[in-house]
Structure 1
Amino acid sequence: MAAAKKELQQQLETQVSALSKIQKDITKNHQVRRQYTIQHGENEMVQKELELLDDEANVFKLIGPVLVKQDLVEAKANVSKRIEYITAELKRLDVTLKNLEESQTSKREEVMKLQQRIQAGNPGKGRP
């Protein structure tokens, strides 16, 4: 009986560890998503500013410490592609977050079941 209890304790520790990892992954996902959301907003502002320019306007791109002249059409295309990429990443992160939250819920249920089994194996002795 003591061996069974020890095995349940080990299972519980494993599940708690897995739950903790999932929670860290959720936090990391939120941080990355926040960064992409900021970048998305910044790129939308740049896109709006580029739309206001005349076709002959000079556009410069900062590459390291140097400003390099860039074609307006090319600049608009680059910003549009960047927005497309960021939007796709945000969608991917949303799907990943949903899956992580589902995993978190199932792990919590497993942990609670294991805790109940451990407590049921010790009636009258208090907490394990």
Structure 2
Amino acid sequence: MMAAAQLEKEMAAFQNLQKDFAKIVQSRTQLESQLKENEMVAKEFDLMKDDATVYKLIGPVLVKQEKVEATSNVKKRIEFITSEIKRLETQIKDLEQKQDAKRAEVMQLQQAYQQQLQANA
């Protein structure tokens, strides 16, 4: 029964697409959380005076850092995270299309397999 083997193969491919999709969605969720966190830090920097003391946690140590440098680092981080989210959004759309196509293919194979079983019965 060639149809059964083909159906199994395509269903496995569909499940792999679903796994990839779930991983990317999880990554996007993590990035969105990091983005919110960094946006909050940027807002705090905006509220601070220019001569305020800023400390950065490096490992177990707090290191003094210039406010300008800290602000710049946070802005760069926000830009990077935003571009990563956009990249993942593109991947998500692509995988959604691939999943839809694979789902339709699997359904056609299931119907053909059912018809083959009924014809043999």
Query: Is TM more than 0.5 here?
Result: yes
2:66 pairs with 1:66: no
How many aligned residue pairs are there? 121
The runs of 5 or more residues in structure 1 that have no matched partner are 1-5
User: Which protein has the bigger helix share?
Assistant: 2
User: How far, CA to CA, are the matches of 2:7 and 2:117 in structure 1?
Assistant: 16
Partner of 1:123: helix, strand, or coil?
Answer: helix
Q: Give, in whole Å, the separation in 2 of the partners of 1:98 and 1:114.
A: 24
The aligned counterpart of 1:3 is none
Q: What whole-Å deviation, never above 9, does each CA across 1:65-87 have from its counterpart, x for those lacking one?
A: 00001111100100000000000
1:123 Cα deviation from its structure 2 partner: 2.3
Q: Deviation at 1:94? A: 0.6
> Which residue of structure 2 aligns with residue 51 of structure 1?
46
* SS in structure 2 at match of 1:13: helix
Distance 1:25 1:31 in 2: 10
Which amino acid in 1 is paired with 2:62? L
2:19 to 18, 24, 44: 24
Alignment of 1:1-128 (within 5 A): 6-123=1-118
What CA deviation, in whole Å up to 9, does each residue of 1:77-124 have, x standing for no partner? 000000000000110111100001101001111101111111122326
Greater CA drift, 75-84 or 28-37: 28-37
What is the CA–CA distance in structure 2 between the aligned matches of 1:124 and 1:10, rounded to whole Å? 18
Supply the distance in 2 between the matched residues of 1:60 and 1:117 (Cα, whole angstroms): 66
Of structures 1 and 2, the larger Rg is shown by 1
AA partner of residue 113 (structure 1): Q
Percent of pairs with identical residues: 50
Moved over 4 A (4+): none
